[in-house]
């Protein structure tokens, strides 16, 4: 009986878990919804913590595409060169839209943010 309960728990945890994807190319950014980009680095413990918060948000919000952008990737360098992303701290996150192939920055989060802070902004249409 105990094994069955454990198996059900593990299976349900797997089914409701979410993992944000690493942004690899500019084409991964979608035009039909808002996109949430978290700029991060591998050695940053706050980035790992922020990723877990975003995974929780991803489960309850289906109106966003969630990505992280690693500072060692080519796309990181391309985005900073072409757009006005100001990365002074890790993590730094942005809510963006893509329209006619161009990115529009709607909101910026500097540093680690609690789930409640992010949801407050996302739920307030006047923030954008």
pLDDT score recorded for residue 9: 44
Question: Which CATH number goes with the domain that contains 47?
Answer: 3.40.30.10
Residue range of the domain that includes 44:
19-127
Does 6 fall in a domain?
Answer: no
pLDDT of residue 126: 77
Q: Is residue 65 part of a domain?
A: yes
Answer whether the bond into residue 91 is a cis peptide, omega within 30°: yes
Number of folded domains that form the chain:
1
Predicted local confidence at residue 1, as pLDDT:
61
**Residue-level pLDDT at 72:** 96
Question: Looking at the domain assignment, is residue 28 inside a domain?
Answer: yes
Question: Is 30 inside any structural domain?
Answer: yes
- In this predicted structure, what is the pLDDT of residue 4? 55
Residue 98 near residue 35, CB atoms below 8 Å = yes
Q: Return the pLDDT at 8.
A: 47
The answer to the question of residue 11 being in a domain is no
> Per residue of the chain (128 residues), what is the pLDDT tens digit?
665 544 444 444 444 457 899 999 999 999 989 999 999 999 999 999 999 999 999 999 999 999 999 999 999 999 999 998 999 999 999 999 999 999 999 999 999 999 999 999 999 977 77
Q: Give the per-residue pLDDT at 17.
A: 56
Examine residue 97 and state whether it is found in any structural domain, yes or no. yes
* Residue 12 placed within a domain: no
Length, in residues, of the chain: 128
Residue 9 lies in a domain: no
pLDDT value, residue 10: 42
Per DSSP, the three-state class of 1 is coil
């Amino acid at each position: 009986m105990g094994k069955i309960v454990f198996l059900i728990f593990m299976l349900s945890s797997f089914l409701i878990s979410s993992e944000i994807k690493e942004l690899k190319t500019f084409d991964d950014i979608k035009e039909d919804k808002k996109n949430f980009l978290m700029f991060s680095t591998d050695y940053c413990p706050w980035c790992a913590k922020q990723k877990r918060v975003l995974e929780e948000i991803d489960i309850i919000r289906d109106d966003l595409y969630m990505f992280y952008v690693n500072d060692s990737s080519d796309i990181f360098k391309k985005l900073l060169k072409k757009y006005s992303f100001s990365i002074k701290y890790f993590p730094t996150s942005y809510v963006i839209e893509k329209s006619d192939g161009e990115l529009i920055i709607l909101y910026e989060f500097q540093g680690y943010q609690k789930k409640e802070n992010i949801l407050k902004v996302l739920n307030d249409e006047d923030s954008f």
